[in-house]
Each structure stands twice: as structure tokens, then as C-alpha cells.
Structure 1
């Protein structure tokens, strides 16, 4: 089992008026921010229970279907698989990657939606290892962290309320434990569906091995109907398509 990596960026880059808290259970490490008046013990308990239930359901399923955990290509779940596994598998099939490529985005979305439904939360950010699901009633700025790239921490995605709820998922070959077959410092995908955004972040990231790959990788992303926007950072080069508005951080 992997240990938690320091999430220094959560404190360093958080500038909103929302009130944050963390939820950790096994490999799940969530950072959740909601309006201060809604950051209640009941909401935090609900968040913990939702994250725990998702992990336990998926873990129990993987014990029965270990291929689901290890496959780097799409995998059809067995009968009786939990809803989160079905969402992950469906997203992975679209992006032509393994289902676990969609796990962080799927968890972030599911937890956020449960809190939005049960507590009528209209402003929320759920971040899971760099993968984000958010709803907003005011503009938000999401920083792009790209490891050792000179562009890392220098740019932010401008998100308007009309774009939300929205998933922003990032794959990196140089940051974090997630597997990437490419060399990109950051590939961020914007999509309505968390599992889909996460799966496509991996798929696009796998295609970027040098700056020369930015243009064809963006063309691939632009051709996918589920992708609303894409940002690619490798070294000192950056490219973007779709509903992407960048500003200095």
C-alpha cells in the first residue's frame, strides 16, 4: 500500500474564501473546500463515510477481479461490480486505458456530488491527488503544478461558474505516483465527468514524449467529444485547446 505524499500545494495555493478540510482513508487522500457555514461536523462525517464506502466497495471488488487493478487497457467488469467500478471502466474504454486510470477523478466526483445533494452545497472543491471536481457560483482559479517545468505554479486556469460543475484532472510523468507512458510534466483535461477527465488525462499524457508531440496530442484531445479543454506542459512549452483560459498566477 502506498503512503501519503505531502500535499504542500494545498496550503500554498489555496486562496479562496472556502473553508477546507482533509479526509484520508487508506490510499484515498481528499482535500475538500466548502463555504465556512457549511463546513459542519455532519458534512465532514458524510464526506468521510462516502470516501470510506467508495474505497471499501472498490477494494472488495478488486479482490474478485484483480485484472481490474492491473490492466493498462480497457477491461469489462464482472457482473455485480459496484457503480464506481462501472463508471471507471466506461471512461477507460473511451480513452483506451486501464480502469484504474480513472479512479481519482471518479472518487472526487462521487464525493462532491453526494455532498452537493445531501447538504445543498453550491460551492465546492474536491481534490484527490491533483484531480479536481468543483461547482462554483463565482469564478475560480486553479493553479497548474507541473513539477520541475519552469511554468509550474506560474499559471492558473480561469473557471467561470457557467462551466461548472466540472472536472479538472491532471496526469504527469514527473510528479506523483501515477503511471504515465509519456514524458509530460502536466496534462490537464477539463470534462463534465470525473472518471472521463481522469482517463483522458492519462491517455493524452501517454502521447506526449517531447514538445513535438504537443500539437498532435491536442488534436487528439480536440477530437474527443467528452473533452471540453486540454492543457499540456512539457519543459518550457505549453499548449491548450478548448474551453481553456489561462492567466498568470
Structure 2
């Protein structure tokens, strides 16, 4: 794996600012590291829930190790836990292994579970974000950590829940079979957005592949993909329900 930015620091989180009546807090359970913005401090409750969700995933992998190892879709029985089935379904649509959807799946599980306690709740999990909100939000896109985020995706009130999930061959530790700087996907479902971001970034191996990424994104629109942003070097393209805005 040839990644130019392998730091585990998450300095981009410094730019995440709660609105009035909101608080931000971190929830870390084993390898899961969430940043949450909510209407009240729910860190203890969320930590307990994340432990439960992680337990379901770990227990499934214990008896089905191929679930963690496969780079292609896998069938799972209807008796599997809901989060396992959701990951497998998203992976099947996008043609990737089910673990490509795990970060989005955990983020969405948290957001959906605690939406009653906090109708405004934003869950960021390693660059994958799931949002339930009653007001407009802007999600930053970060293709170059050293330069900081200069472009954001505006999400209007009334368009939630929403997920913005990203994959990169140059940032972080997640596996990518491509070499692009960034693919960010918008969808209502974070499992789909996460799996699609991985699948589309796998296609991005040269500047000429940007059009290929957009074509595949259009094909996935029938499954719920709403928009995609792709960057390879200086080549940038976007398609779908994306309102890009300059960040101060």
C-alpha cells in the first residue's frame, strides 16, 4: 500500500463546530473512534451502544472469518445481525467486500439509535459522516491534509438523514486498490455511501479514470447514490446532488 499521508492524527476534527444548543464529544471503543455532535452529551450511552455493535460484528467474524477478509461481496443468511446484513447488502450493490461498509454502518447505527434523544446528531467515523439534522450543514472535503479543507458540501435542511463517506489511496490506512486522492459519496444510507466510495476510488488509477468514476456513480444512482466528488491530482469532477461551497 503506497499512501502519502499515513498519520493517525485527526486534525480535521478541529474545524467541526457545534451550533447553538449542541455539544461535541469523542467516543472511542477499541479501534472505533467517533466524533459526535449532538444536543446533549451522550458519550456514555453511545460508548455502550458501540460496544454492543462491535460485539455483533466481532462475533460474526469469529465464526465467519471470510466476512473480514473478502474483497468481493458475500452472501449472508437472513438470521445474521441487522448490521451484518446491511453491510453485506451495500457491498453486493457496489461489488466490494462487506468490511468496506463498516465505518458507515457503525456511524449510521449510532445516528439512528440516538435520533430520538437528539434530533440533531452528527457522527463522524474516520472521515465517514452520518447526519440527522433539522438545519443546514456543511461537510468539508479534504483531499490534501497539509492544505486543509477548502471545499465543502452544503446539505440543506429537509434533506436528512444524509451520509457523506470518503475513500482515498493517499490518506489514512484503509485499503484502496486505486491511486486517487479522494472520492466522496453522498447518499441517504451511510452503508451504501461507504461501500460506494471504496468501489469508486478503486477505479481511480489515473486522471483519465475520473470519467469512469462518474459513469459508475450514475449506475449506482438507482440504488440510492445521490452524488460523487472525485479528485486525482489536479483533475476534479463532481456529479449529482452536490452543492459545493468554498470554506473560509
Per the TM superposition, whether the score is higher than 0.5 is yes
- Residue 81 (structure 1) shift: 2.3
Which of 6, 14, 17 aligns to 1:15? It is 17
The within-5 A match list for 1:150-229 is 153-224=149-220, 225=222, 226-229=224-227
Deviation string, structure 1 residues 16-72 (Cα, Å, up to 9, x no partner): 42311011111111110013xx22xxx222211111111111101101000000000
Q: Which residue of 2 aligns with 1:6?
A: 9
- Partner of 1:105: helix, strand, or coil? helix
What is the distance in 2 between the residues matched to 1:192 and 1:142? Answer: 14
SS of residue matched to 2:163: strand
CA distance in 2, matches of 1:190, 1:140: 13
Taking the aligned partners of 1:27 and 1:16, their CA distance within structure 2 comes to 25
CA gap 1:159/1:79 in 2 versus in 1, 3 angstroms: closer
1:37-76 mapped onto 2 (5 Å cutoff): 38-39=40-41, 43-76=42-75
Q: Cα distance, 1:140 vs. partner?
A: 0.9
The answer to whether structure 1 residue 232 and structure 2 residue 230 are counterparts is yes
1:149–1:234 Cα contact (<8 Å) kept: no
* Contiguous gaps of at least 5 residues in structure 1: none
C-alpha separation in 2, matches of 1:137 and 1:80: 35
Aligned to 2:92: 93
* Equivalent-residue separation in structure 1 for 2:244 and 2:207 (angstroms): 19
With normalisation by structure 2, the TM-score equals 0.91
Counterparts of 2:146 and 2:11, CA distance in 1: 17
* CA distance in structure 2 between the aligned counterparts of 1:214 and 1:97, rounded to whole angstroms: 19
1:184 positional shift: 1.4
Contact kept? 2:78, 2:85, Cα under 8 Å: no
Q: Structure 2 vs 1, CA of residues 149 and 236 (structure 1 numbering), >3 Å: closer, same or farther?
A: farther
Q: 2:123 aligns with which of 126, 134, 143?
A: 126
Q: Is the 8 A contact 1:135 1:161 kept in 2?
A: no
Offset, 1:77: 2.2
> Do 1:65 and 1:78's aligned partners in 2 also have CA atoms closer than 8 Å?
no
Residues 1:52 and 1:208: Cα distance change in structure 2 (over 3 Å): same
Query: Distance in 2 between the 1:130 and 1:148 partners?
Result: 12
Structure 2 distance, partners of 1:131, 1:80, is: 27
Aligned CA-pair RMSD:
1.6
Distance, in Å, in 1 between the alignment partners of 2:143 and 2:198 is 15
Taking structure 1 as reference, are residues 185 and 161 closer, same or farther at Cα in structure 2, changes over 3 Å only? same
Alpha-carbon distance between aligned partners in 2 of 1:148 and 1:216, rounded to the nearest angstrom: 25
Structure 2 residue runs without a partner (length 5+): 1-6
Is contact 2:165-2:186 (8 Å) kept?
A: yes
